[in-house]
Structure 1
Amino acid sequence: MDVEILSRIQFAFTVAFHYIYPPLSIGIGLILVIFEGLYIKTGNKDYEILARFWTKIFALTFGIGVATGIVMEFEFGTNWATYSKYVGDIFGSALAAEGIFAFALESGFLGVLLFGWNRVKPWVHLVATCGVFFGSMFSAVWIVIANSWQQTPSGYHIVGEGMNARAEITDFWAMVFNPSSMERLSHVWLGAFLSGAFLVLSVHAYYLIKGRYTDISRKAFRIALIVATVFSLGQLFTGHKSADGVAKNQPPKLAALEGHFEKSAPADMYLFGWVDKESQKVTGIKVPGGLSYLLHQNFEEPVTGLNAFPENERPSQVNAVFQFYHLMVAIGMSLIALSLLGVFFWWRGTLFNQKWLLVVFVFATLLPQIANQAGWFAAEMGRQPWVVYGLLRTSDALSASVTANQVWFSLIMFFLVYLLLFALFIYLLNKKIKHGPYDESDIESHPMQQDIAQIFN
């Protein structure tokens, strides 16, 4: 494999691994705010115990996320020097804003969140929890803005020519509110909330199946189920809005998402299928004219297809883009169905009697993670062959001095280190889950002695 393919694989691997953790941090942060808010409002000790327990898991995801995120910034210089020079003014301002407005807020309150229990008043601790939560959300803001600028550049001009060309900001707010940033940000935020909610659902469903910490787990499960239901339904609206933006700003990507080749014809919407790029056909189950209807509320309205663009200006891996996109959509619909099913049994008063459903929730924590990854892969592969859409090709963004052997070596090393980090994460997460939500100091003060005693079983 050549340097371009290897560098793309390396960056995709490091980004995909890193992206496991920030959504969890954001999602768990929201749950922590809810738990602590309920504790202050009701005085119920269970909510404080839940907040303490999930703070430990938040700290674990936050730490791994920071460690894995640093690597990508070095890759910009080692593998993508031309890209870094081209977008440095744009990307640098967004990353600086993240450090000033987001990471400083998040890390500034993190110490109080982790070590402030019994040292500050409950409302002060809640303020710190909110600070960490909003800081994690602001981090996502600036990262998504920087990435969205690559998808839909605005508020810039080009200085220099040829290899010396670079983009400079002419309007900071036009760069921030570029045509795709806000709709993509809302989609990312909701995906993160679902990641956190379904992890909480998974852990407490496991406790309920095992008959451990049942009283406190029922409280946590209900809260997480409400969060999951609200935001899984919300993804329908943010996803549709994002698709409308892609249709307007990146029509070749939209065509690839549904395997639509004809230059101008009504476009079908596939539930699933397989794209044959050579024959320009898709085999699968479809809604005839479905994409046309979603975009224009008319089954017969033409949609611009891949053949309307030169071959070197459209995604080469059409089937991969198609599959990742449809995987994301399928999981999104599954999360809606699962959440509503949980609400239905809750309404009937039999939610915690459905052991089969609790088993499904235990494993469902993987679904938001897979959907997040699939969505990012579809977005990034669908942008190709551009690293900055319409301005800088991926093949022109590489470092001139990096060899394939060097990328191979670093890729292998990253794989081994990340494998070790992932094993450590799973080990520590499993250890905290097995320990349970109660500390020794909680045992004597909590009325549910029989439930708490199972810590020692």
Structure 2
Amino acid sequence: MDVEILSRIQFAFTIAFHYIYPPLSIGLGLILVIMEGLYLKTGLKIYEDMTRFWIRIFALTFGLGVATGIIMEFEFGTNWATYSKYVGDIFGSALAAEGIFAFALESGFLGILLFGWNRVSSKVHFFSTIMVFLGSMFSAVWIVVANSWQQTPAGYHIVGEGLQARAEITDFWEMVFNPSSMERLSHVWIGAFLAGAFLVLSVHAYYIRKGKHLAIAKPGFKIALAVATIFSLAQLFTGHKSADGVAKNQPAKLAALEGHYDSSTVADMYLLGWVNNKTQTTTGIKIPGGLSFLLHQDFKTPVTGLNAFRPEDRPIQVNAVFQFYHIMVAIGMLLIALTLYSSWLWWRGKLFENKWLMGVFVWAVLLPQIANQAGWFAAEMGRQPWVVYNLLRTSDALSKAVKAEQVLVSLILFTLVYTILLVLFLYLLNKKIKHGPELTAPDEEKEIEAKSIRENPIMN
């Protein structure tokens, strides 16, 4: 393989691994705010114990997120020096803002969040929890802004020519609020909320199946289910809004996402299928004219297809883009069905009577993670062959001095290190889950737990 392919694989691998953790931190941050807020409102110790337990898991994900994210900044200089020079003024300002306004806020209050119990007042500790949560959200803001600028550049001008060309900011806020940043940000935020909520659902479902810590497991499960239900539905709307933006600003990407080639015909919406880029055909289960209707509210309006663009200006791996996109959509619909069904059982008072459902939730923790990864892959592969849309090609963004064997060796080393980190993360996470929450009111907990078991014999 050549330098470009290896560098793209390396960056995709490192960012995909890193992206396991920040969504969990953001999602768990929201859950922590809710749990600790309920503790302040009700004074019930079960909410305090719940919060203390999940703070420990939050700290673990936060630490791994920081450790795995640092390496990507070095890759910009080693593998993508031309890119760094071209967008340094813009990308650098967003990363600097992330460090000043987000990471400093998050890490500054993290110490109080972790070690402030019994050292500061409950209100101060709750305020710190909110600040850590907001800091994690602000981190996503600036990363998404930087990436969205690559998708839909705005607020810049080009200085210099040829190899000396670079983009400079002319309007900072126009750069921040570029045509795709806000709709993509809401989509990313909600994906993170779902990742955190389903981790909580998974752990609490495990406890419920085992008949352990029920006084905490059941109310915690309901908190996470409420969050998951609201945001799985909200994701449907933000996803549609984001797709409308792609249709307007990146029509070639939208055509790849849907496997649509011919611009003179209506566009079908495929529920699942397979794209043959050589024959320029897509086969599968489809809704005739469905894409045309979603974009134009008319089943007969043509949609711009891939054939409207020169071959060198459109994505090469169309089937991969198509499949990643449809995996994300399918999981999104599955999450809606699962959370709505569970909420209906909750309303009927039968949520915890189905042991099989708890088993589903134990493994459902993987679904938001897969959807988040698939969505990012679809977005980034769909932007190709541009690293900055219509301005800088990926092939031109590489470092001129780096060699294929150097990238290959570093990729192998990264794989080994990241594998060790993943094993360590899973080991520590499993250890914390098996240990369970440390109860500050064991007698009260035992009484409630016994009552819960008596009312639900299947959980005994």
Deviations 1:121-175 (A, max 9, x none): 1111000000000000000000000000000000000000000100000000000
Which residue identity is paired with 2:284?
G
Match of 2:226 in 1: 226
Query: 1:448 Cα deviation (Å)?
Result: 3.4
Say if 2:213 and 2:449, in contact at 8 Å, map to a contact too: no
Percent of aligned pairs sharing the same letter: 75
Deviations 1:314-338 (A, max 9, x none): 0000000000000000000000000
Query: 1:442 Cα deviation (Å)?
Result: 4.5
Query: 1:449 Cα deviation (Å)?
Result: 8.2
1:443 and 2:439 matched: no
Match of 1:258 in 2: 258
Query: 1:214 Cα deviation (Å)?
Result: 1.1
Query: 1:443 Cα deviation (Å)?
Result: 3.2
Q: Which segments of 5 or more consecutive residues in structure 1 lack a partner in the other structure?
A: none
Distance 2:445 2:264 in 1: 67
Match of 2:423 in 1: 423
Distance 1:17 1:193 in 2: 18
Query: 1:263 Cα deviation (Å)?
Result: 2.4
Say if 2:328 and 2:372, in contact at 8 Å, map to a contact too: yes
TM-score after normalising by structure 2: 0.97
Which residue identity is paired with 2:447?
M
Say if 1:24 and 1:195, in contact at 8 Å, map to a contact too: yes
Distance 1:450 1:149 in 2: 52
Say if 1:272 and 1:284, in contact at 8 Å, map to a contact too: yes
Match of 2:168 in 1: 168
Match of 1:205 in 2: 205
Taking a change above 3 Å as real, the CA distance of residues 15 and 260 of structure 1, as seen in their structure-2 partners, is: same
Match of 1:180 in 2: 180
Match of 1:338 in 2: 338
Distance 2:357 2:8 in 1: 40
1:284 and 2:284 matched: yes
Say if 1:292 and 1:302, in contact at 8 Å, map to a contact too: yes
Say if 2:152 and 2:389, in contact at 8 Å, map to a contact too: yes
Match of 1:112 in 2: 112
Say if 1:156 and 1:170, in contact at 8 Å, map to a contact too: yes
CA RMSD after TM alignment: 1.3
Secondary structure, counterpart of 1:270 in structure 2: strand
Secondary structure, counterpart of 1:302 in structure 2: coil
Match of 1:99 in 2: 99
Secondary structure, counterpart of 1:265 in structure 2: coil
Say if 1:290 and 1:299, in contact at 8 Å, map to a contact too: yes
Query: 1:233 Cα deviation (Å)?
Result: 0.1
Which residue identity is paired with 2:122?
P
Q: How does 1:40-55 map to 2 (within 5 A)?
A: 40-55=40-55
Secondary structure, counterpart of 2:303 in structure 1: strand
Match of 1:271 in 2: 271
Query: 1:445 Cα deviation (Å)?
Result: 6.8
Distance 2:448 2:170 in 1: 64
Query: 1:178 Cα deviation (Å)?
Result: 0.1
Match of 1:38 in 2: 38
Say if 1:213 and 1:451, in contact at 8 Å, map to a contact too: no
Say if 2:198 and 2:361, in contact at 8 Å, map to a contact too: yes
Taking a change above 3 Å as real, the CA distance of residues 450 and 343 of structure 1, as seen in their structure-2 partners, is: closer
Deviations 1:224-276 (A, max 9, x none): 00000000000011000000000000000000000000023210000000001
Secondary structure, counterpart of 1:304 in structure 2: coil
Deviations 1:74-127 (A, max 9, x none): 000000000000000000100010011100100110000000011111111000
Distance 2:88 2:157 in 1: 13
Say if 2:268 and 2:289, in contact at 8 Å, map to a contact too: yes
Match of 1:80 in 2: 80
Match of 1:385 in 2: 385
Which residue identity is paired with 1:54?
W
Equivalent pairs counted in the alignment come to 452
TM-score after normalising by structure 1: 0.97
Q: Which segments of 5 or more consecutive residues in structure 2 lack a partner in the other structure?
A: 454-460
Which residue identity is paired with 1:248?
K
Which residue identity is paired with 1:86?
Y
